[in-house]
Amino acid sequence: DIQMTQSPSSLSASVGDRVTISCRTSQSISTYLNWYQQKPGKAPNLLIYGASSLQSGVPARFSGSGSGTDFTLTISSLQPEDFATYYCQQSYSPPLTFGGGTKVEIK
């Protein structure tokens, strides 16, 4: 299985801050990396697919980058509705695996 390591596991930030979340995989996955946002009691929501493609309807303040084993999700200016948990997920090879999540909290 491809192991996913997300960091940090949690962070505190203020509205307007630039936030960066990292995801590292145990082997190269090209750009088969997706990012999701999940709010409490809700299903995950696809933000980024293919490491850097913005899903339709997702605000442009979200962006993704990386290839191989190192990936980054960036929120350029954190908004109140962005406080949530974020997960990376590899789709290169089954079993599909998720990172452990990064909880973004209000400072």
1 binds other proteins, rule: CB under 8 A: yes
Choice between 82 and 89, CB closer to other proteins: 89
Position among 62, 71, 86, 87 found at the interface with other proteins (CB under 8 A): 87
| Region for residue 12 given its phi and psi (left: phi exceeds 0; alpha: psi -120 to 50; beta: otherwise) | beta
Q: Contact, 31 vs 65, CB < 8 A?
A: no
Q: Kindly list the residues in this chain that would bind other proteins in the complex (CB under 8 A).
A: 1, 31-34, 36, 42-46, 49-51, 53, 55, 87, 89, 91, 94-101
